[in-house]
Structure 1
């Protein structure tokens, strides 16, 4: 099985896909073969999905945006911008941890890549199936985690809470990436990163500022 990393968020819309794409680009530049899985996605528009999470992952991987490539990385797709089990219920579909686990394990087993990224949804404790949170899927798969946090007001608490939650279930956290918030009124980015690092213990805390070349993926890929 290829080496794999689970990309998880401390909250919703903190930049999980942005960070996953940055890792993919950095790995490909180094000559590594990369695969990505986004087992479930909600808020998905089948008529215009190029900028959806799976669409952006496929673009980063250098693959065409076709139904075939979409099914290969993100087979469970729902229209409503809600948690996946809530969105699935609206379509009278069921979504279970067993489904997600089976897809991820098959993808990991069949991949010959140097690195496989598995991207979750929402935050660490967001429901990802009727019977599971994102954390449950991480534990089931036994993968180390790249935790992505934000820099909005309240992000320090959300990020450190997510980190402690992962540690409580013995999920190895490879690194914590803090993505800069787009709101100019957000707290100072560098101070936010420093504050999180002060309480993160031995977990590396890396900054991902907007509008600047991203150097942090190289540190994760070492």
Structure 2
């Protein structure tokens, strides 16, 4: 498959959950997937256990070590803020050009499925002049758009989809990742969205405690990205 960028309508939506499910599925199938989340904020520098990079590392069947952490997420910031804000608190800057170069190297070196995961939502600032959308446009990869199932998600999805298409980016699939406590039936959300999304595949993935890689939704999603 061609490498994909995993993005979302906002933060804490389920990007890493979706990425980890895909990675586990590929690994169970005997493939050697790779994941790269070059920027991450809100990570405890003393204990990264439970962080997004740790989840990706575990999904690839690797141990969490300084080396694997650096390989998956080389630029890490402690504050749970947009990367430019979190970097500023530490007297640092987001090395945008170096990050892009690292992404391109990972793409060029890929021998199996590769996911590059963004940070926050599509329009989250990366540095003081560029957003995740700019980052995605520089790479030009097809993307998986992850959204929640909360009240208000429809507007957020249509806005994100519109800006992605306006920049010429291909959305391979929309994943509705279950929002804990959500009150809107996912099937109703999908049916309401469909007329506005020009045939874009919509997949609903519940937040399973275990076995997500075996869920039919992952097989359905892979039918569009693999």
Q: Normalized against structure 1, the TM-score is what?
A: 0.93
Answer yes or no: is the 8 Å Cα contact 1:10–1:158 preserved in 2: yes
State how far apart, in whole Å, the 1-side matches of 2:91 and 2:85 are. 10
Taking only aligned residues, the RMSD between alpha carbons, in angstroms, comes to: 1.5
Aligned to 2:75: 76
Answer yes or no: is the 8 Å Cα contact 1:41–1:76 preserved in 2: yes
Aligned to 2:201: 204
Aligned to 2:222: 221
How many residue pairs end up in the alignment?
Answer: 219
State how far apart, in whole Å, the 1-side matches of 2:28 and 2:222 are. 12
Structure 1 residue 199, shift from structure 2 partner:
2.0
Matches within 5 A, 1:1-222: 3-112=2-111, 114-184=112-182, 186-211=183-208, 214-222=215-223
State how far apart, in whole Å, the 1-side matches of 2:57 and 2:207 are. 22
Uncovered stretches (5+) of structure 1, i.e. residues with no partner: none
State how far apart, in whole Å, the 2-side matches of 1:27 and 1:197 are. 28
State how far apart, in whole Å, the 1-side matches of 2:159 and 2:14 are. 18
Answer yes or no: is the 8 Å Cα contact 2:203–2:221 preserved in 1: no
1:61-108 Cα shifts (integer Å, max 9, x gaps): 001100000001100000001000000011111114312201111222
Answer yes or no: is the 8 Å Cα contact 1:42–1:80 preserved in 2: yes
Answer yes or no: is the 8 Å Cα contact 1:8–1:147 preserved in 2: yes
State how far apart, in whole Å, the 2-side matches of 1:159 and 1:214 are. 23
Answer yes or no: is the 8 Å Cα contact 2:21–2:218 preserved in 1: yes
State how far apart, in whole Å, the 2-side matches of 1:138 and 1:116 are. 15
State how far apart, in whole Å, the 1-side matches of 2:30 and 2:192 are. 35
Moved beyond 4 Å, runs of 4+? none
Answer yes or no: is the 8 Å Cα contact 1:96–1:130 preserved in 2: no
State how far apart, in whole Å, the 2-side matches of 1:190 and 1:143 are. 28
Uncovered stretches (5+) of structure 2, i.e. residues with no partner: none
Structure 1 residue 35, shift from structure 2 partner:
0.4
